[in-house]
Amino acid sequence: MLLTKKVALVTGASRGIGRAIALGMAQEGANVVVNYLHSEEKANEVARGISQYGREALVVKADVSSPSEVERMRKLTLEKFAGVDILVNNAGTHHHLKSWEMDLAEWKRVLSVNLDGVFLCTKAFNPEMRAKKWGRIINISSIVGFTGTDHEAHYAASKAALIGLTKSLALELAQYGVTVNAVAPGWIETDMTSGMTAEDRKKGLELIPLRRIGRPEDIAYTTVFLASDLASFITGQTIHVNGGEAMF
């Protein structure tokens, strides 16, 4: 197993990509902190799945954009596991709006979760990594951070900014044996994409050379690899998982 005796914290782990990552970490030997904000029952389902792999799970409700709630999550994690080895910043939010349709509050709401949340969680959970000279931080960005999008500029802006944050954190933490990388998913079958019409899905598939929609597990496999010792010489990078939809 790639992650035996490791502890992973996955934000936004109750569903979709976060759920797949949490279960993937457990399957490879890690105990997992399951963070959620709204879906308590789904988070508990993920915890039950983790226990089926013989791993321990800690379920914590916390808004990653709130410094006080992140600090509470840190304290609970330290009580249970004495810190984390792997931090996956997956929690995110979006809202389909043209830029002229959103007000400043909506803009700040998306940036506070998608960008501020990564900053706050990284700041809270990297001290133990630095102390033991080993750690993995993996930030979930998006293809639209590179291509842009015509319906949610705030989301694209947050995901693009996350790339710069990832590179800067990688430079800061390299001397401590901590790697920091990002994963940029393309079109993945999750709740966020479930409302698409048949026509939109047909058009979308035509843009993907592999001619299929991605699965949450496709992101989980990549994240598990980056969290393992197999990726010990990779830092400051963004791994694109999009079926060839955009090649950089």
Concatenated DSSP letters for 63-86? -TT-HHHHHHHHHHHHHHHSS-SE
Whether 176 is a known active-site residue: answer no
Instruction: List C-alpha distances in Å: 157 to 88, 97, 108, 143, 222.
Output: 20, 13, 11, 11, 23
User: Is residue 190 classed as helix, strand or coil in its secondary structure?
Assistant: coil
| Residue at token pair 């955009």 | 246
Catalytic residue, from 53, 155, 176, 221: name it: 155
What is the DSSP pairing of strand 86-89 with strand 135-140?
parallel
Per the CB < 8 A criterion, the answer to whether 185 and 142 are in contact is yes
**Phi-psi region at 46: left, alpha or beta (left = phi > 0; alpha = psi -120 to 50):** alpha
Active site residues per annotation:
155
